[in-house]
Amino acid sequence: MQFNPPNDKSPDLPLVSIALCVYNGERFLREQLDSLVGQSYPNLEIIAVDDCSKDSSRAILKEYQQRFPFFKVVENEFNLGYVKNFEKAIRLCTGEFIALSDQDDIWHLDKIRIQYEHIGTNLLIYHDSAFMEDNGKMIDMKMSDIIHLYRGNQPEVFYFFNCVSGHTCFFRKELVNEILPFHPEHFHDHWIAYIAVNLGTIDFVPQALVSYRQHPTTSTDILNKRKKFRRNYHENRDIKKLRKDLKWIKQCATFQKNRNPEFLNTFLTLFEERLDTFFSFRYAQFIDRHFDILYFIQKYRKATKKAFVYRQIWGLRAKLLWVRMFSFWVEEE
């Protein structure tokens, strides 16, 4: 890769911090670091936080720190985990704008410049991404082929889905005090997007500015690269998802500056009611009424809207009863 690192800071442009989190990333790390230090935007600091790597990641980071004065390395004394490591990296950023970076992607060399030029009055701007195989071979598919990208200020869009991937985030530092601390059970990028649309607006650049590597060890597995194991028939994925969604909606409700608290409180009440009943007609009616906004991000559905809304009538108790009956039939056979 050919690049010209930004050796001279420009006094006319604000400082942009890149928060890079690393853990056992030696395989792809150099390629990603080259795309970071080679950014065409001239006023950068890169904050690389290593989360107790056991491979050569720390040595690679220190090498880049010696070569580039704007590259800073922090080594954790104990493992924080993916989400909390990003929290630490963000706290260490001093720039007016902050971008997040994973360890195994490849950035377009104009990524930061383009995002800075397009952020306007928005609190956050993100972009499309091109998928890349584990071996670096590009896949003829982009993020926007799978999901709808959203621009605007409606938090309801983010109750079920997220379209703002961490590696695409570019946001104003004023968001930091609002988004931190992160809850370790929820993805940090989903939370950042949710807070940003509550406090202001978000936008996206339709251009794919990152080659987004897909392999079994990525934190999010959008293309289902992880090996699929045979599930025990006693387990029910829908039930697990309902409980996970409830945790996320409750997390959203902890934010004290929600743009539409009435909507959220009604939604949460109906969702909890559904998880404690056999039938939930009020929840299904609510979903039907607000379907276009709650399911905006989801691009493809296995059923029509009418069939999907009808399934929302069934409460968790009915689903649990079905699982028990199915398990009994399997055992009898």
Are residues 195 and 279 both part of a single domain? no
Q: In the chain, count H helices and then E strands.
A: 12, 9
Give per-residue pLDDT as tens, 28-40.
999 999 999 999 9
The total number of structural domains in the chain stands at 2
* Residue 280 contacts residue 313 (beta carbons within 8 Å): yes
Residue 155: pLDDT over 50: yes
Domain residues for the domain of 324 are 237-332
3-class DSSP assignment, residue 115? helix
Instruction: Provide the token pair at 183.
Output: 């809850």
Mean of pLDDT values over 79-92: 98
Cα dist from 318 to 233, 274, 306, whole Å: 17, 10, 20
Q: Which residue has the higher pLDDT, 220 or 306?
A: 306
Domain membership of residue 95 (yes or no) is yes
Residue 202: pLDDT over 60: yes
In total, the chain counts a number of residues equal to 333
Are residues 59 and 178 both part of a single domain? yes
Residue 223: pLDDT over 80: no
Confidence band for 224, pLDDT divided at 50, 70 and 90: low
Give per-residue pLDDT as tens, 104-138.
999 999 999 999 999 999 999 999 999 999 999 99
> Residue 324 and residue 320: Cα distance in Å, rounded?
6
Cis peptide before 6 (omega within 30 of 0): no
Residue 62: pLDDT over 60: yes
Are residues 199 and 307 both part of a single domain? no
pLDDT of residue 333: 43
Residue 186: pLDDT over 70: yes
Contacts of 89 (CB under 8 A, 6+ apart): 19, 20, 21, 47, 48, 49, 74
Are residues 132 and 280 both part of a single domain? no
With a pLDDT cut of 70, the percent of the chain lying above it is 85
Residue 331: pLDDT over 50: no
Residue 9: pLDDT over 70: no
